[in-house]
Amino acid sequence: MQLAHNPAAERAAADGGGVGAVIAACCNPGPWRHDTIALTAAISLATTLCYHAAMQAATARCTRIANIGAGRTRAWLQSAIVPQAGQFVLARYWPGLDPYLSSAVFPAALTSDGFALELPSDDATLPYLVPGADVRLTGPFGQPMPMRHQPDSRILFICARNPHHLLPLAQQALQAGADITLLLERPYPLQTLDARIEARHGELLTLLRNHLAWAEKVFVDCLPGARMRATLQPLAGDSYALFAEALPCGTGACQGCAVPGAKGYQLACVNGPFFRLSALA
């Protein structure tokens, strides 16, 4: 089966134009002829689709699964693809052809041979995610979040949902000697957190107002609303927000993850998924 080739994308890659140039060339219309693309397993290979050399496709193996409480389930994957803190992968838990049926997965923890992911205990994919099951992964996608912290840095993590998206960042910060405070609005199994993380539960804006003066850097697990953003304004240059609402393709091809920025739209799967608050529109 023949995949359509994009000469412009090939030239951009050969000229060292970087991911942005390759995506632009790959996803813009051109005069070349597109053959009908059969949706096979090869379509998930990012280096074939968009010629992104950093992306890989591999089969991971589920080694363990556990209900960790508060309606959350964690699964450990043995994987050759390990996203860095701040990145995500596309995961498929069942055999299939269409790459847009994959799920965006952020690691809840990084391990020596892979990573752990976390899902609601009623998630529809869990029947497929059992010990010994294969999980097809593509990635990693997005930009790693650099964590250059001095010892005793004070970092605030704000979780409007569940904190698993932010936990690898918190672990990196702890390893650097930072102090971490986690603000939670929803129930979460606190016994699974590192004992060095101080957790506070309640209404987020109230918690934020009580802790903002202490913080030197802030991470939020969503794009904040107007009131939270106004509250964070004193630290806007050192606050980072996560866009994880829609990440269907990982390459920028679908344009479904466009985030309005101060200098135009940014693609969360390419330029994010974490964005500095001061850079958002």
| Per-residue pLDDT reduced to its tens digit, 229-242 | 999 999 999 999 99
For residue 186, give both structure tokens.
């929803």
Residue 233 lies in a domain: yes
Who contacts 4 (Cβ-Cβ below 8 Å, separation ≥6)?
Answer: 32, 33, 34, 35, 37
Mean pLDDT in residue range 35-48: 38
Interval 132-174: pLDDT, tens: 999 999 999 999 987 776 788 999 999 998 899 999 999 999 9
CA-based nearest residue to 187, from 277, 97, 72, 94: 72
Residue 159 contacts residue 166 (beta carbons within 8 Å): yes
* Amino acid 42: pLDDT: 37
**Same structural domain, 135 and 224:** no
DSSP 3-state assignment of 278? helix
Our measurement of the distance from residue 278's CA atom to the centroid of its chain's CA atoms, rounded to an integer in Å, reads: 20
| Distance between CA atoms of residues 14 and 48, nearest Å | 14
pLDDT(3) > 50: no
**Same structural domain, 31 and 100:** no
Residue 218 lies in a domain: yes
**Same structural domain, 229 and 130:** no
| Distance between CA atoms of residues 197 and 191, nearest Å | 11
**H or E stretch including 266?**
strand 264-267
pLDDT(21) > 60: no
pLDDT(32) > 60: no
DSSP 3-state assignment of 249? coil
For helices 18-27 and 7-14, what crossing angle results, to 10°? Answer: 170
Interval 231-279: pLDDT, tens: 999 999 999 999 998 898 888 888 999 999 999 999 999 999 999 999 9
**Same structural domain, 25 and 105:** no
| Distance between CA atoms of residues 217 and 201, nearest Å | 19
**Same structural domain, 219 and 183:** yes
CA-based nearest residue to 73, from 205, 153, 188, 166: 188
Residue 234 lies in a domain: yes
**Same structural domain, 244 and 214:** yes
Mean pLDDT in residue range 180-189: 96
Band (pLDDT 50/70/90 cuts) for residue 50 is very low
Q: CATH code at 161?
A: 3.40.50.720
| Distance between CA atoms of residues 6 and 51, nearest Å | 10
Band (pLDDT 50/70/90 cuts) for residue 99 is low
For the beta sheet containing 88-92, the strands, ordered from the edge strand earlier in sequence to the opposite edge, are 103-105, 88-92, 134-141, 56-69, 72-78, 114-120, 109-111
**Same structural domain, 96 and 19:** no
Q: From 114, 141, 168, give the residue that closes a domain.
A: 141
Residue 230 lies in a domain: yes
DSSP 3-state assignment of 102? coil
Instruction: Point out which residues pair with 75 in neighbouring strands.
Output: 65, 117
**Same structural domain, 158 and 137:** no
**Same structural domain, 137 and 77:** yes
φ, ψ dihedrals at 53, nearest 5°: -65, -25
H helix intervals, 71-203: 167-175
Band (pLDDT 50/70/90 cuts) for residue 84 is very high
Report CA-CA distances (Å) from 176 to 27, 150, 152, 179, 272.
40, 7, 8, 9, 23
Q: CATH code at 74?
A: 2.40.30.10
Residue 190 lies in a domain: yes
Residue 49 lies in a domain: no
Mean pLDDT in residue range 79-83: 95
Mean pLDDT in residue range 8-26: 43
Mean pLDDT is lowest, of 9-18, 31-40, 44-53, 107-116, for 31-40
Tell me the one-letter amino acid at 209.
R
**Same structural domain, 64 and 173:** no
| Distance between CA atoms of residues 174 and 41, nearest Å | 39
**Same structural domain, 271 and 172:** yes
Structural domain count, the chain: 3
Q: From 115, 141, 167, give the residue that closes a domain.
A: 141
Band (pLDDT 50/70/90 cuts) for residue 55 is confident
The domain in which residue 70 lies consists of 56-141
Residue 126 lies in a domain: yes
pLDDT(7) > 50: no
Residue 224 lies in a domain: yes
* Amino acid 98: pLDDT: 60
**Same structural domain, 64 and 166:** no
